[in-house]
Amino acid sequence: MNLENLDINDSWTLFLDRDGVINQRIKGGYVTSPNEFEFLPGVEKAMNILSDIFSRIIVVTNQQGIGKGLMTEDQLADIHQKMIDHLKSAGGRIDAIYYCPALEEDRSPNRKPLPGMAFKAKEDFPGIEFSKALMVGDTESDIEFGHRAGMFTVLCSKQTIEVDKMYHRPLYVSDDLLSFALLLKKSI
């Protein structure tokens, strides 16, 4: 099966990772304030396209910078509000954001690759069917998260990742969110 064979319509849900998919990842650090949040090229246009395709767009993001004491939940809320407002003004939308502030060693069921955030989203949006959902992320952890929840997955990264060596392989690999959105628009 490949992306073009899926019957994607407005009953589907799109799950997106944040850092590395929507915004520039800070290598070795964390986005801790709105002025450090920088959209990746083409994301505004991609989100506009994706907003026309999917009934729900949900961001799922690990934010252990909170657990490390590098930022507060209020600072994270400010970052997310900036992201939501900017995308809305560009014609896109995000319907909900779920984040896990736990440290990796805490083994929280809500920290990707575990699927807790997906199940929280389903509680809030009972219409979500994981068999009609796509998870787009830039790491192997994101792809594993999608697989554990029963979603189709897309690896979205310009980094060299050896997909053949991944335990859970993505359905599709794209350089960036805009390339993925344009392909999806063309195929439906």
- Give residue-wise pLDDT tens across range 6-55: 999 999 999 999 999 999 999 899 999 999 999 999 999 999 999 999 99
**End-to-end C-alpha distance for the chain, whole angstroms:** 15
Buried b (16+ CB within 10 A) or exposed e, 50-86: bbebbbbbbbbbbbbbbbeeebeeebbebbbebbbeb
Tell me, yes or no, if 175 is annotated catalytic: no
- pTM score of the predicted model: 0.96
Q: Please compute the mean of the pLDDT values over residues 115-137 and round it to a whole number.
A: 98
Per-residue confidence (pLDDT) for residue 2, from 0 to 100: 77
pLDDT band at 160 (very low <50, low <70, confident <90, very high): low
Per-residue confidence (pLDDT) for residue 187, from 0 to 100: 85
- Total domains in the chain come to 1
Show Cβ contacts of residue 185 under 8 Å, excluding neighbours closer than 6 positions.
Answer: 49, 52, 53
Q: Could you give phi then psi for residue 170, rounded to 5 degrees? A: -75, 155
Per-residue confidence (pLDDT) for residue 174, from 0 to 100: 93
Per-residue confidence (pLDDT) for residue 158, from 0 to 100: 79
Closest residue by Cα to residue 121 from 24, 38, 14: 14
Catalytic hit among 10, 17, 106, 176: 17
Domain span including residue 166: 3-187
CATH value at residue 136: 3.40.50.1000
Tell me, yes or no, if 124 is annotated catalytic: no
Instruction: For residues 26 and 121, give the distance between their C-alpha atoms in angstroms, rounded to a whole number.
Output: 27
pLDDT band at 144 (very low <50, low <70, confident <90, very high): very high
Per-residue confidence (pLDDT) for residue 65, from 0 to 100: 96
Catalytic hit among 7, 10, 19, 52: 19
Per-residue confidence (pLDDT) for residue 163, from 0 to 100: 65
Give the orientation angle of helix 140-149 with respect to helix 116-124, to 10 degrees. 50
- If you write DSSP's letter for every residue of 6-23 in order, what string do you get? S---TT-EEEE-SBTTTB
Give the other-Cβ count within 10 Å of 41's Cβ: 12
pLDDT band at 167 (very low <50, low <70, confident <90, very high): confident
Triad 172, 187, 54: Cα angle to 5°: 80
Instruction: For residues 24 and 127, give the distance between their C-alpha atoms in angstroms, rounded to a whole number.
Output: 31
